[in-house]
Every structure is written in C-alpha cells, then in structure tokens.
Structure 1
Amino acid sequence: MADFSIISDVSNEVLKLLRENICPELIQSPESIALAVPTDKNADFQLGLYLYDIQELREYQQQDLIRLRGNRAQYPPKPLTLFFVLFINTKSQFMSNVENEQRILGRAMQVLMDHAILYESGEEDEGSASVTLLPLSYEEKTKIWSVLSVPYQLGIYFSVSPVLLSSRRVRTFRRVVAAEFDVANRG
C-alpha cells in the first residue's frame, strides 16, 4: 500500500507520462510540462498539471483489517479520487499560437486515454488507478477558475481513482492458542 506520498506519486506519474509522450514532438523540453497552479504568473511552462480537488471514494470502502506479521493488523486504506486539470500556460514565452495549443491539448488527451490504467500494482489487494475524463459543464469548469480568480481557459479535466492512502494505525491482537470444550451428553 502507498503511504502519504501517494497523492504526489500519482501527480508525478501523470507528469511523467505526459513528458514521455509529448516531448519533443510538440513541446521541446520535458521541464515545460509541470505541476503548476494556474495563478502562478512567473512560472515558465507550457502545459500545467493542477490538482484541484481530493475526495473520498466511498463506494470503494474496505472494512477488513489487513493482517501483518506477528499479532498485528493494519487498518484499511482510504480510497481517494484525485481531480486534475491540464491547462496551457498562455503567459509562457514558448507558446506560439492557438493552433499549437490545441495540438498540445489533443495530444495530452490522447496520452491520458492511451494510459487509462495509470498503474497496476503487483499486489493483488491494491488494484490499479484509472484515468477518467470528467463530463463537467461549462459552468462547473468556470467555477473552478473563478475560485482561483483567474479567467476561464480551456483545459482537460480528469480524475484518477481509486488512489489508496494507507493507514498507519495498527492494532495488536492475541491469537487463540488453546480452546476447551465441554460437551455433556444429555439424554
């Protein structure tokens, strides 16, 4: 299971996929694709990946404790959904025109769909995380940008789930080593 860094790990995995599949064809430098906040006016990147929300994935709840070595059990992981937007940095000195921006977004969407299963764990209890494009309305997208006090701009909105955040809470227990039964013959 993944520890507290899982959120950052998933963001970096998406970033890695984008860099490997877009550079140098449409964007010259891998560093021009970055984890970024749309409000950052000084950053020089072309394509930004912004994590804008994290929610618990209640449908995926696991109730059973996970047995560890010895007489210990770990509480189950918390399943999460991470919500991202991929956006063009229109203030970047490298951006040339609207057509190029649309090509970059088209390729980014293609990369996300070609890698819809983000990672597959070797451990059978962990599963894998899926990338899903979000069917947000224009109003929902506008709200995301208005909260940031940034004018709306075109982007790709997607989620990654389930992302399993492990618990560090461990419980010890005693094993049953002997049992006595008194069976009386009643007749």
Structure 2
Amino acid sequence: MGDYSVIADVSASLIKLLREQMTPDPIPQPELIGLGNPVDKGDFYLSLFLYNVKESGDNRKTQMISRGTGEIQYPPMAVDLHYMMTVQSPADLQSRALDEQRILGRAMQVLYDNSVLRGSTVVGTLAEHGEEVRVVMDSISGDGMLNMWNFADTPYRLTVSYIVGPVMIDSTRIKTTKRVLERDVSIQG
C-alpha cells in the first residue's frame, strides 16, 4: 500500500530497472531512457508514457484495516497502470528500423524477466512497504494501438503497451470505533 505518490513510484521503478539493465548495450547512457509522451521532442531512445489508469476490480479490497485502538481505516483503492513503451533510434535511415527493434526486444526481455517488481527493484513507498506489482504486456491489437497513437501529425513509432499492477493507493478515511467492553452470551434451549 502506498500514499498518493505510489503511481509515480511505479514509474520511477520501471525506469530504474530499464536503465540498470539496458545500458550500455543497446542504449549507451541511462539518461536516454525516461518518462515522456511519445511525441515529445527529446533525446530518449526509449520512453514510457502512462496513458491510462483503471480501477482493478479483481483486486479491490473490502476489509477495513485496524489502525490501533479505536480506529479503522478504509481499504486501499486498487488500480492498474497502462503504459506505452516507445522506441526512437537516432541511427541513420538504413539501420534505424533494426536498431529500434533491438532496443524494443531488449526492453521487452527485461520486463519479461522482471515481471514482478519487488525488493531492490522498487523505490519510494513501494520499497518502504515491501509491495510488489506485476508487469504484463497488454494484448492491444494493431488497430487498437494505431487508434491510441492519435498524436496530431506525428507518425506512428514502434510501441508496445504494458499493464502494471495492482497498485494500492491508501485511503485517507479513518473511522473511530469503540472497543467492546462487555459481551452477553445467552444460550437458547
């Protein structure tokens, strides 16, 4: 569980993982991997873009959480984060497509081999609470991806979509309760 910053912590954890495992090959410097809209002008060879956040009904919690004597906290909200991973190589036109495919292949391999983010891979509130999240490639069709790639006059770039979650965002709602001091047990006979 985490506070409101847990979404940013997931993004930072993904970038940290990709930077640690993709440099210096196939990407020469870690700063060339980052968070950004796929059409932002920049130097990223590989970018992650959080394009959607959905409540994860399958992982929704309903149990109140005890916070000591006299207080219970409402359960956390479970969400799934949807990312676009986009590749852009600065290579010349003749080798650009192959270079982008190598970068994408390595990034997919890294996320597949680390399909559960946990331990030293995570940062922030995820690390503080020992949380883990799954990383799964999204099964968006080619047409679906092209429809999502609706960024004005920018031509389509090689992109893969991932779902990361469930991510738990703590509720700030707390309810005070009174301790049970007496119990009456009657037996009906």
TM (normalized to structure 1)?
A: 0.87
1:175 equivalent in alignment to 2:174:
no
Shift of 1:151: 2.4
Corresponding residue SS for 2:118? strand
Counterpart contact for 1:34–1:47, Cα < 8 Å:
yes
Cα offsets for 1:72-108 (capped at 9, x unmatched): 1111011101001111135xxx444221111100000
Q: 1:11 is matched with which residue?
A: 11
**Structure 1 CA distance for aligned equivalents of residues 141 and 131 of structure 2:** 30
Q: Deviations over 1:166-187 (max 9, x none)?
A: 1111111001112356x6999x
Change (3 A) 1:173 1:142: same
Cα displacement (A) at 1:70: 2.1
- 1:86 is aligned to 85
RMSD, matched Cα: 2.3
Unaligned runs of 5+ in 1: none
Q: Take 1:34 and 1:185, find their aligned partners in 2: how far apart are those partners?
A: 68
Offset of 1:129 from its aligned partner?
1.2
CA deviations over 1:18-70 (Å, ceiling 9, x no partner) = 000000111111000010111212x2211111111000011111111000122
* TM-aligned CA deviation for residue 127 of structure 1: 5.8
Q: How does 1:38-187 map to 2 (within 5 A)?
A: 38-41=38-41, 43-89=42-88, 94-96=90-92, 97-119=96-118, 128-146=132-150, 148-149=151-152, 150-180=154-184
- Structure 2 vs 1, CA of residues 45 and 21 (structure 1 numbering), >3 Å: closer, same or farther? same
Q: Tell me, yes or no, if the aligned pair for 2:23 and 2:29 is still in contact at 8 Å.
A: yes
Deviation at 1:143, TM superposition (A): 1.3
- Structure 1 pair 21/122, CA: closer, same or farther in 2 (3 Å)? closer
Distance 1:98 1:184, change over 3 A: closer
With the length of structure 2 as denominator, give the TM-score of the two structures: 0.86
Aligned length: 179
- Aligned with 2:58: secondary structure? helix
Residues 50 and 82 of structure 2 are in contact (CA less than 8 Å); yes or no, is this contact kept in structure 1? yes
Query: Are the structure 2 counterparts of residues 95 and 69 from structure 1 closer, same or farther at C-alpha, using a change threshold of 3 Å?
Result: farther
Name the CA distance, whole Å, in 2 between partners of 1:88 and 1:67.
46
How far apart are the structure 1 equivalents of 2:187 and 2:91? 87
User: CA contact under 8 A between 2:100 and 2:158: conserved in structure 1?
Assistant: no
1:2 alignment partner, SS class? coil
- 8 A contact 1:46–1:95 mirrored in 2: no
User: What is the CA–CA distance in structure 2 between the aligned matches of 1:123 and 1:12, rounded to whole Å?
Assistant: 14
One-letter amino acid of the counterpart of residue 111, structure 2: L
Give ranges in structure 2 of 5+ residues lacking alignment: 120-125
